[in-house]
């Protein structure tokens, strides 16, 4: 359920107002002595419980999702709230204490619990490393001849040991080089990906390359839904659903790209655009398939333009993406790597990768120089 008051229909809003008005009227009449006093007392508990429920729901939806940390905070808060009831009686044993006094003591206890848990949470989890896979993937696009690609791959292999082994490097050359690049990567931990695959398994589809073919050449990943494919080759969610199915049927992990264009960003539609791109494709995956998925957020206005999203802009939308994933897949969304792509380079990688929901990058231009590509990997603080 993802409703906010801004999204209520007129009927729902009228309903809320009516219930609210009846509640306030009953409460006022009871306070004035025209109705039994218990209605007046119960009113306090209704308000307190509704307030707590709303905060709890927000907490549940917003915290770094429903992982172990989120559950820890949520259930501790819930336990303290429940304990606040008997604790109030213990703190105010005098039966003469009014309902108003009890209401304020309960509210203070709940507030204090919130502050205490926030403090414990930040002490426990501050500087803790992210547990998700750290990924730096190079999308070579339509660049390099086969021999140049092999040179590039060898360069990456040669400098790999200078970067933390905690970083997973992936290179995605053009189809024509996959075989030779696979050979150049042999013996290293650098993985291979393709930039696309066909929507069909095999047959009379001139010029297409099947997922089974790229898997046979040693690919572990396939980039799907890149904005250039959506824009220049008319790829729709319908096609992408088929491509995703082919990728999974052949044991490949899709790197599914989402992102808004400049007009959409300027119109403030970016959150809705990526949400729709996820709902139309990723929501069709099974829970098992979802465990093998990488998402890449690439704002079209930042691709190849030298304009990078700021680290805060990236974090904001990555957190939104994770929330959209959590709404469908629950706690496992916490483990899904979400990469940033768009003019990512050695000079800005560290700041972007430091953000809580950014798990690496999908790199275009800077992946064409082994030195730069590796230096981006160094952007991860250990």
Q: Does 174 bind ligand 13P (CB under 6 A)?
A: no
Closest approach of ligand 13P to the CB of residue 295, in Å: 13
What are the Cα distances from residue 281, in Å, to 189, 284, 368?
Answer: 30, 6, 30
Dist. CA 313–CA 311, nearest whole Å = 6
270 is catalytic: no
Cβ distance 240 to 295 under 8 Å? Answer: no
Q: What are the residues whose beta carbons fall under 8 Å from the beta carbon of 171, sequence distance 6 or more?
A: 137, 138, 140, 152, 153, 156, 181, 185, 190, 191, 192, 193, 367
Going 270 to 275 to 277 to 278, the CA torsion angle's sign is positive
HSE of 321 in the Cβ direction (CA atoms, 13 Å)? 32
Q: Which is nearer to ligand 13P, 84 or 349 (CB)?
A: 349
298 is catalytic: yes
Token readout for 249 is 């049927």
Site for ligand 13P in 97-136 (CB under 6 A): none
Cβ distance 117 to 77 under 8 Å? Answer: yes
The correct pick among 235, 298, 357, 359 for binding ligand 13P (CB under 6 A) is: 298
Q: Which is nearer to ligand 13P, 109 or 302 (CB)?
A: 302
Closest approach of ligand 13P to the CB of residue 225, in Å: 11
Q: Which residues pair with 362 in a beta bridge?
A: 137
Of 226, 270, 318, 320, catalytic = 226
Per-position x/- string for 176-215, each x denoting binding to ligand 13P as judged by CB under 6 A, each - no binding: ----------------------------------------
Closest approach of ligand 13P to the CB of residue 301, in Å: 10
Q: Does 365 bind ligand 13P (CB under 6 A)?
A: yes
Q: Does 341 bind ligand 13P (CB under 6 A)?
A: yes
Of 191, 260, 264, 298, catalytic = 298
Q: Which is nearer to ligand 13P, 333 or 366 (CB)?
A: 366
**Residue 219: closest CA among 151, 172, 164:** 172
Closest approach of ligand 13P to the CB of residue 223, in Å: 7
Annotated active-site positions, please? 226, 298
Judged by the rule CB under 6 A, the positions of this chain that interact with ligand 13P are 139, 226, 298, 303-304, 341-344, 362-366
């Amino acid at each position: 359920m993802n409703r906010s008051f801004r999204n209520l229909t007129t009927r729902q809003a009228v309903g809320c107002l009516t219930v609210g008005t009846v509640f306030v009227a009953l409460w006022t009449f009871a306070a004035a002595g025209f109705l039994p006093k218990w209605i007046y007392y119960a009113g306090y508990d209704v308000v307190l419980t509704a307030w707590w429920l709303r905060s709890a729901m927000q907490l549940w939806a917003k915290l770094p999702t429903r992982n172990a940390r989120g559950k820890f905070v949520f259930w501790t808060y819930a336990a303290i709230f429940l304990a606040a009831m008997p604790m109030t009686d213990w703190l105010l044993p005098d039966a003469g204490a009014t309902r108003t006094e009890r209401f304020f003591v309960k509210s203070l206890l709940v507030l204090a619990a919130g502050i205490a848990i926030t403090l414990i949470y930040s002490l426990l989890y501050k500087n803790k490393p992210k547990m998700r896979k750290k990924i730096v993937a190079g999308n070579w696009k339509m660049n390099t001849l086969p021999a140049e690609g092999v040179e590039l791959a060898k360069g990456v292999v040669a400098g790999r040991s200078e970067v933390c082994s905690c970083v997973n490097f992936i290179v995605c050359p053009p189809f024509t080089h996959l075989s030779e690049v696979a050979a150049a990567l042999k013996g290293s931990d650098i993985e291979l990906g393709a930039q696309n695959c066909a929507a069909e398994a095999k047959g009379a589809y001139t010029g297409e390359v099947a997922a089974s073919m790229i898997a046979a050449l040693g690919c572990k990943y396939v980039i799907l839904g890149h904005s250039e494919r959506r824009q220049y080759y008319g790829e729709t969610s319908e096609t992408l659903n088929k491509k995703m199915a082919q990728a999974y049927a052949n044991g490949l992990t899709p790197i599914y790209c989402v992102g808004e264009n400049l007009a959409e960003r300027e119109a403030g539609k970016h959150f809705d655009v990526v949400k729709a791109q996820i709902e139309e494709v990723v929501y069709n995956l099974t829970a098992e398939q979802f465990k093998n998925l990488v998402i890449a957020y690439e704002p079209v206005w930042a691709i190849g333009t030298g304009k990078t999203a700021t680290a805060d802009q990236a974090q904001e939308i990555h957190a939104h993406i994770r929330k959209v994933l959590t709404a469908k897949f629950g706690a496992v969304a916490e483990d899904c790597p979400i990469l940033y792509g768009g003019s990512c380079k050695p000079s800005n990688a560290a700041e972007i990768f430091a953000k809580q929901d950014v798990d690496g990058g999908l790199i275009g231009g800077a992946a064409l120089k082994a030195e730069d590509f590796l230096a981006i990997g160094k952007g991860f603080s250990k």
